[in-house]
Structures are given as structure tokens and as C-alpha cells.
Structure 1
Amino acid sequence: MAVDPWFVIFKKINTVENIDVKGIVVEHSLYNELETFKMLNFDLEQGVASESVVDIAKKKLTFYFDEVSAKCSGNEITEDFLLCANDILGGYFSYYYSTELSNNIYKQISDCDTNSYLIYDVANLLGYSVSVMYTPGHSLITWVDSNGERKYLETTASNNHGSVADIRRDVYIKSKLGRYYHPFSGGDILDVYKSLILIKAKDKSYISKIYDDKPYLNVDAEYFYYIKNSSGLTYSIVNIMNELHEQQLATKYIKLTLAEWYYNKGNVEKAYSYVGDIKLNNCYSTCAEISSYIGYSRLTPKVWWFFSYSDLGDLYDINISLLDFYAAWLMLFLMVVFFMKKLLLNIYIR
């Protein structure tokens, strides 16, 4: 889930070529074991997308894989192949913040996650060894070059055409959570995807198995979300969340859930301490609502509600830097001034 305020404000959509699915035959025997096809089937199973949408998405994926195979597979160096595959991707998929793979492929839009899934699958399909790496609110492609150096591909750079990344930059937020800054492949990528679309899934109970079987994926927030909205929180679950907070491993959603819990139990001071632990520029819709509910006074950036983050920003721990936060507000202000000037000019001319 890439968070780039310049994209968010302008909804910057590059002009892409439409993929005509007529005549495209999906080789299910070849592609069904790919993580992207498993994700599409999961979307269908969970009611995230219709059968017709998934069918078209599979054809568009097939087209992309064939294009990359024809134009990029001759590259002996992994980096050259990845840049080639990413460049082709940018020609057919516009950058747009999104979650579910099926609808993204169908509409030919993508963000960091969708890009990473596509490039991961086509690379490994054609014999290149790459992995997906997650950072808070973001994902990249990573691989080890012939010199033994680990390298990274920022798939959303250059208007979705990609470039080699320097993860030392501040835009890549650091975190102690085990999911972040480690290479993942295969079923782990699929399970992370399942956690990311939890809100939209018809049957959310699957998150319990991921939580139990793969603690290193850190789907704690998603699991607690499921528990809270199904059977309800218990003291034992709250104790687990408190332990994560004490270890500085609690996500925003966990802090907000604890704040609401303790406020309802009458411990207002403790509730305030959890909300106060969340920086202003990282407080989105749910954070704003809970802050207001418990009476914690803060200036909340409600403008971000308009930019489609809402509950996703808090549940999935999306973050932006202070510089990006204030830059986004400045750009919004300039946009308002520009449109007001244009409106007044039109009125004057009339």
C-alpha cells in the first residue's frame, strides 16, 4: 500500500494502453499455481469480485505475462529483467491506491502491492529468483545480485514504470515488526494478501489460522479486528495487545483498540496514553473517531478522509512522514486557491 501524497492528491493516472482480452486463452495448467492466480481465486471465493471480473483479470494477467516473456526474458541480469518487466507494467496499469487484486487487474490500476505480486510471479515463472519485501504501508521487490548484494525495486517510481530503490531513504519507514524488511515468497505472500483484504472478505475466520500458524507475518491487528467484530474482546486478548505495546510492537489499530477498551472500562487516563502515542500525521478516520469518542482533544487531519484512506489507514498501519504530511496540506491549499481563482474569473467574465 504505497502512500505517496502527490499521487493521493492529484490521483495521478498515467495514460495506459487498454488490454483487449478477446482471443486471450488462459493456460490454467501453467498459471494456476502462481500466487496472483491464487489471489484471484480467493477474491472470487470471498465475494470480493464477481466471476466475470476474475475471468477478465486472469486474461489480462496472461497478456502481461506473455508480454514480459516476449520482451524481457532475454535479459541475463535480474535487475535488467525487473526494470523491463516494470516498464511494461507501467504501460498497462495506472498507479492508484487500491487493495484487492482482482478489481485492480480488471480496471488496469495498481499500487505497490499489486505491482509486486505481478512482477514477483512473472520473474519466478521465467526463472529469476526474487522476493517481496514489506515496509510499513508499502512493498517492494528484492533480490540478491551476482555480487551477493541485496537490491530493491521500487515498482511505483517513475509513474509506475519502476526504478531501483534505496531503502535508506526516510520514505521507507522503519519498524521492529517481523513482517517488515524481510524477503517473503510463495504462500507467505498469499497470506499477507489475505490479511490485507480482510475487511472486504465474506468469511473473515481464515485470519485465525494465519495468526496461529505464521506469527512471523504479524497479522495481529487484523486478527484482533476479526475478534473484536465477531466474538468480542476478552481480557486475555487485551493482555496480549498490552504485551505487544510494551514491546513497542503495537500497530495503530492495536493502540486505538486498547484506548477504546480502557475508556469503556472507566480508565480514561490510560485510554488517553494510547491515543497520545499516535503521531498527529498518522491519525486517520478511525483514530479521529476514537479520539473524539474518548474526549481526547487533538487537531486531526480529516482531509485524509477525502483521500480514501479511512479505516484502512489505521488498520493496516499506513504512515506518512511529517514532511509529506505538510506538503500534502500545502498542495491542497494551492489547489483550492487555483480553483477559487478560476471560479471567480468565470463569474467576472459572465
Structure 2
Amino acid sequence: MNTEARKKKRELSKNQRHGFILFTGVVLGVLFTHAGYSISFRPVNSLEKHKEDFYKGYSPAAIMTSDKVINTDLLTHRLIFSDRQRGVTDAMTAATAISKVNQYMRDVNHRCNSDGTDKGNAAFVACAGHLIGKHFYYTPSIEVSNNYAVNRSDCDTNTYLLMDAARQHDIDAYIMYAPSHAFFAWKDSTGHFQFWETTTLNNKGEVPDLRHDFYKKNFNHSYYTPIKGIRVEDIYSTLTYDIASIKPDLSAIYRKYPDDAFVSSWYYYTKASNHKLTKDDARVLIVLLQTDITSVDKRYALTQYFLSINKQEQALNTFKTIPLEKCNQDCFQIGVVLGLKRYQYTQPIFNWYSDRVKHSLNNKNIRVNASDFFSGLILVVMGSILLLISAISAGVFLFRYKKTSVSIKSDK
């Protein structure tokens, strides 16, 4: 074999190596793109799985006339009625929600019982807690009516159900709020509280381990303090403020519960959204954030205030204390207003992404976050670049490979 032939053979071998590298680039590009898409749409995939698993075992009972009867002794019924009065839902949806709640209550009364002892009450709570997952699947929910009606529920809407079930069996029931979460509490015969986490296992629940990082710690005493009665309903009207046609008087509720973290967050968040925050409000927010260390709404409100008085640096410093995983649409828009490039350049994609997630789940309560978005976007961009480079390289490779092969054949 002459020198020229050996040279061409080496060239062919080199092209084969390039082909392998090209193939690897394509595989990595596809993997990166798929991983980015999966991370970005993780909420959709997870919640769709909850829905799918729920309907595999769900057998809807026939709705009887008696199912739609309102019992004002039940917290859930009062909240549904409140939704109807405040324009959160319509009459048909409210009636369907009532019937779904009543079916759950009937199932609890049929399957669960207690002898009145602490052991019996704990068994009842576990039984009634597990049954929530038989009637409602987990998905982020705000208003009771529109979600109960379609068999959806989350932490606080689950807890309302369990409070009603427990009280019908003479168990002293409460709701316990944590940052961005709520769970069930009941008082035993010694005066101590026992707890039940309602959301795990797709709303079947379990006894919680409050040491877990999931239960974020906060110095504000309204967290991890069991509450019941009218205060629960007042907090609910605050949480549903944005979606109500007839708004509650937030100022009156705030005066009634000035130390409540949820109420104060919504009060100042709403004032900030309406550009009504004052210098005194800003001072109060700074004080409140010393103990309410996990509040995103208060940080959002304070950032808005600093922007309104043209204190860009203070606004930016406050904005940077908001964790990306808690930065939703309103927060993202603040990043745009602050002139942060990654927010400005990606805003149209983020808006599309947010709308796509809500549409996919048919749930306007879903709040996407900047952490999933940016993580997924980086991987998608990396994957797309690899695929583009691979496509260009493929053309060059095929040309060189064909040229080399033809040359070798001609020599033969």
C-alpha cells in the first residue's frame, strides 16, 4: 500500500471518529433538551400523575338531592357559600362542591369511628385522612368551591374537610399554618396537640415529621399555632381576595389580626399591587420581616415600595432575597422592571411557559416559578446548541466522508 493510500485510510478512520463524536453530540443534545423540558414542566407531570392515579380508583357516587343540602354547621359548607356570595363561583359549581363534600362526609361516617379515647381519635383521624385521597386528588387549590367540585384539593382545603369530619365525632379540631402550607391538628385528652399531614401520598396523608425541611421554620408566632373558629374563615377570605368579585375589607381584617402572617402579607401585597404603600407601611414591613423570615409577599411589597420612590438599589437588594423557587409571575415582572437582563430577555418565554402550564392542567391556581424555568431553559438552550453544532458538523462530515470514500475507491 503506497503512502497516498495509507493517508486516505487514516483520513477515513479520522472521519469515523468524527462520526462517533457527532453521534454523541446528537444524543447529548436530545438528552439535555428532554431534561430541560422535563424540569420546566415538572409541575404538569407530577400533578397529571396525581390525577391519573386518582381516577384509576375513583368510583363517583350518584348525586342525590340530599347531597346538595347545605349544613351551616360545617366549615366547608360555609366557605362554599361564601364563595358563591362573593362571586368566586356560580350556583351550579357551588351545588356540585356541596355534594362532593357531603359524599366524603357520608363515607367517613360509614367507614370511620372512634370510642372517644386518644387512641380511638387518632385512628379516626387516620381513617378520615386517608379517605380524603379517595374523594379528592392533590393539586394546588385556593378556593374550595371550584376545586371540590372537580375532586381537587390541597393542604388547607384538605384540612377544612378533616376539621368538619373530626368535629362531627366530637374531636377538637384545628388548622395549623406553616409558611406556604397548612395541616391538621387535634387536641388530645392531656391538652396536647396531635397532627396529621393531609397532602402526602396524593392526599391520603400521614402523621408528619415537623423536623423535615418541608415544614419551613419561621419566628412569627401565627405559624405553627393551632387555630379554629371565625379566624379560619377570615383568613380564607383574605387568601381568596384576588379571585373574589366582591372583595373583603382587608383593612378591617388586618386591624382584627395585625399579628397574623398570612393576613399581613396579603394586606401589604395588595396595597403594593395598587401602589398605595406609604413610608410608614415600609417601616412596618421591615420590622415584620425580622420575624416573618420566609414571606415572599412582604418582600415583593417592599420591593414595589422602593421602586415607587426611585430607590433602585434598595429595591434590587430586597428583590435578591426572594428565592428563585418562590419567584412567580409577579416576582418575575419585578425582575424585568429592575432591568435584570435574564428576566428581560426571557420574559416572553416565561409568559408562554406559565400560560402553557396553567392550560395543560386547566388550573389557574398553578404558580410556576423562576427556578424551574431558568434551570429548564439552560438545559434546553445547551441541548439546542449541541444539536445545531451537530447538524452543521453532520453536513461537513458527510461531505468529507463521501469525498474520502470516492477517492479510496478510485485508487482501487
Counterpart in 1 of 2:136?
Answer: 93
Tell me, in whole angstroms, the C-alpha distance in 2 between the residues paired with 1:230 and 1:329.
Answer: 32
**CA deviation after TM superposition for structure 1 residue 93, in Å:** 1.0
Change (3 A) 1:51 1:37: same
Query: Conserved in 2, the CA contact under 8 Å of 1:9 and 1:307?
Result: no
Q: 1:166 to 1:215 in 2, by over 3 A?
A: same
Residue among 55, 59, 62 paired with 2:95: 55
Aligned: 1:200 with 2:243: yes
* Residue 39 (structure 1) aligns with: 79
1:196-345 superposed matches below 5 A: 196-218=239-261, 219-229=263-273, 232-246=276-290, 249=293, 251-296=295-340, 302=350, 305=354, 307-308=357-358
Q: Percent identity between the aligned chains? A: 26
Partner of 1:158: 201
* Distance 1:258-1:229 versus aligned 2 partners, 3 A rule: closer
Partner of 1:142, secondary structure, is strand
In structure 1, C-alpha distance between the alignment counterparts of 2:126 and 2:174, rounded to whole Å: 15
| Pair 1:20-2:51 in alignment | no
Matched with 1:117 is 160
Question: Which residue type is aligned with residue 92 of structure 1?
Answer: H
CA distance in 1, matches of 2:357, 2:220: 27
Structure 2 gaps of 5+ residues are 1-40, 384-412
AA at the equivalent of 1:71:
R
> Conserved in 1, the CA contact under 8 Å of 2:241 and 2:248?
no
Query: Would the alpha carbon gap of residues 19 and 329 (structure 1) be closer, same or farther in structure 2, given more than 3 Å must change?
Result: farther
Listed one character per residue, the Cα deviations across residues 143-163 of structure 1 (whole Å, up to 9, x for unaligned) are: 244566532211111221111
The answer on whether the counterparts of 2:97 and 2:148 sit within 8 Å (CA) in structure 1 is: yes
Name the aligned partner's letter for residue 181 of structure 1: Y
- Contact map agreement 1:36 1:121 (CA 8 A) in 2: yes
Q: 1:202 to 1:146 in 2, by over 3 A?
A: same
* CA distance in structure 2 between the aligned counterparts of 1:297 and 1:311, rounded to whole angstroms: 28
Q: TM-score, normalised by structure 2?
A: 0.69
The CA RMSD measured in Å over matched residues stands at: 3.3
Q: Distance in 2 between matches of 1:60 and 1:142?
A: 23
Residue by residue over 1:209-232, the C-alpha shift from the partner in whole angstroms, topping out at 9 and shown as x without a partner, is 211112232211211233345572
Distance 1:199 1:68 in 2: 33
- Which amino acid in structure 2 is aligned with residue 128 of structure 1? I
Query: Rg bigger for which structure?
Result: 2
Which residue identity is paired with 1:63?
Q
Gaps of 5+ in 1: 338-350
TM-score, normalised by the number of residues in structure 1: 0.80
TM superposition shift of 1:311 = 9.0
Equivalent position of 1:80 in the other structure: 123
| Aligned match for 2:219, one of 176, 193, 199 | 176
Structure number having the greater helix percentage? 2
Judging changes above 3 Å, is the alpha-carbon distance between structure 1 residues 263 and 23 closer, same or farther for their aligned structure 2 residues?
closer
Where 1:215 maps in the other structure, the secondary structure is coil
Residue correspondences, number: 320
C-alpha distance in 2, partners of 1:68/1:248?
37
Cα contact 1:286–1:311 (8 A) shared by 2: no
Contact kept, 8 Å, 2:273 with 2:301, in 1: the verdict is: no
